[in-house]
């Protein structure tokens, strides 16, 4: 008699339950800090007992860190003097007035 291969997979607990999927969806908001506090608590509670979700959160955070590293830093607001200097460059009046 051939052993039924399906039996093995059936005995394995599904890695991601339906709840996990909801958690996965909420995790990006959680990392962004836009998740409502109440959902946050549920999420943490789930994470404390769910390794796959915890690993997912970990990889998500690492990904975000990488994004932050490679993101070009936004230019700081220009001071008045710098803005005037830029204006001079743009209007071709570089180097001040010539006599």
3 state DSSP class of 97: coil
3 state DSSP class of 1: coil
Which of 20, 31, 40, 60 forms a contact with Zn ion (CB under 5 A)?
Answer: 20
50 binds Zn ion (CB under 5 A): yes
CA distance linking residue 86 with residue 82, whole number of Å: 6
CA distance linking residue 39 with residue 45, whole number of Å: 10
Closer to Zn ion by CB, 55 or 87: give it: 55
* Per-residue binding letters, 55-94, with Zn ion (x by CB under 5 A): ----------------------------------------
Residues that bind Zn ion (CB under 5 A): 20, 50, 53
């Amino acid at each position: 008699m051939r052993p039924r291969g399906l039996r093995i997979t059936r005995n394995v607990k599904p890695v991601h339950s339906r709840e996990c999927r909801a958690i996965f969806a909420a995790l990006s908001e959680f990392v962004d800090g836009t998740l409502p506090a109440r959902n946050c608590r549920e999420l943490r509670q789930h994470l404390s007992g769910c390794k796959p979700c915890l690993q997912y959160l970990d990889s998500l955070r690492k990904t975000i860190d990488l994004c932050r590293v490679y993101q070009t830093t936004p230019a700081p607001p220009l001071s008045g003097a710098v803005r005037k200097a830029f204006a001079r460059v743009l209007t071709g009046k570089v180097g001040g007035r010539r006599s």
